[in-house]
Amino acid sequence: MARDSQLITFLVLGIISTLAFLVQTSNAGGIAIYWGQASNEGTLLDTCNSGRYKYVMISFLNQFGNGQKPQINLASHCNPAGGGCQVASKGIKACQKKGIKVFLSIGGGIGKYTLTSKADAKNVADYLWNNFLGGKSSSRPLGDAVLDGIDFDIELGNPQHYDDLARFLKARSTSKRPVLLSAAPQCIYPDKFVGEALQAVSFDYVWVQFYNNGPCQYDAKTGSVKKLLDSWDKWNKNLTKSNKIFMGLPAARKAAGAVGGYIPPGVLKSKVLPKIKKSKKYGGVMLWNKFWDVQNKYSDDIIGSV
């Protein structure tokens, strides 16, 4: 009987420890990174082999819509003409084998893109499906690898019909091969370009850009995080259809524009993460971008706290 009591006690303590661990880690997050806009940021394979990131956004498809021939721009990584970027297929597959989700980011701050109608959105969705997702095409720009989803980093052009594009893409999802959607809205709520889409369609990941927006970012002059956290709370409250929300940040001071928004790692870990990790929708931190993260090693500083 004594041995039985000891065994029962041991099992109970084990269950309690397991439950405590699950509670502590329930809101554990990951780091998302944008890759593709600098030659000396390392390859896609290097990025995934670093062990720092759970999500990688290949950026950007920055020309599409309005009857234009879609065009991808990966800076000096590769020349898409003549299929020169199909070499990325190997890296994409290697990343996915590690459990890393890989997206194609459409839009960006420089480019020529717009959607002029629902029919235009349907055409773009078909192109994305056949050339980057589970469809078939003889001219897949990144090779035969099937990406996990599409990221909406829309900052230019007509803000209409991105809800249509999101619906058309989600309609392609199956239980075996879901089409994941992510978006990178500005932190001023609601976002001008993807605000309507975020209200209409369930996005899997939303990495809000808490930089280059004075009213809703970290105040470097005073060290105050109030505006940042107030904005986070607003997004957390209003983004009812989306699954996970990320704190989008510049990975270095120079990664942000003139308005700023860079948060020193120590401030992020002590004043921001403990607050936002209480949210059930907390997904982690998004960094712009891989080049600046290499320079500043920001992810190295925060990965243990994210």
HEC states along 125-147?
HHHHHHHHCCCCCCCCCCCCCCC
- What is the extent of the structural domain holding 216? 29-302
Q: Residue 4: inside a domain, yes or no? A: no
Q: Residue 222: inside a domain, yes or no? A: yes
Contacts of 24 (CB under 8 A, 6+ apart): none
Q: Residue 10: inside a domain, yes or no? A: no
Q: Tens digits of per-residue pLDDT, 228-256?
A: 999 999 999 999 988 999 999 999 999 99
Q: Residue 21: inside a domain, yes or no? A: no
Q: Residue 15: inside a domain, yes or no? A: no
Report how many domains make up the chain: 1
> Which is the catalytic residue, given 41, 151, 155, 204?
155
What's the whole-number average pLDDT of the chain? 92
- Mean pLDDT for 77-102 is 95
- Mean pLDDT for 116-139 is 97
Residue among 152, 139, 166 nearest 60 (CA): 152
Domain of 100: which CATH number? 3.20.20.80
Q: Which residue has the higher pLDDT, 81 or 30?
A: 30
Q: Residue 93: inside a domain, yes or no? A: yes
Q: Residue 63: inside a domain, yes or no? A: yes
- Mean pLDDT for 208-225 is 97
Q: Residue 17: inside a domain, yes or no? A: no
Q: Is 155 among the residues known to form the active site?
A: yes
pTM of the model: 0.91
Residue 12 has pLDDT above 60, yes or no: no
Q: Tens digits of per-residue pLDDT, 155-187?
A: 999 999 999 999 999 999 998 899 999 999 999
Lowest mean pLDDT segment, chosen from 2-16, 106-120, 175-189, 246-260: 2-16
- Mean pLDDT for 1-6 is 50
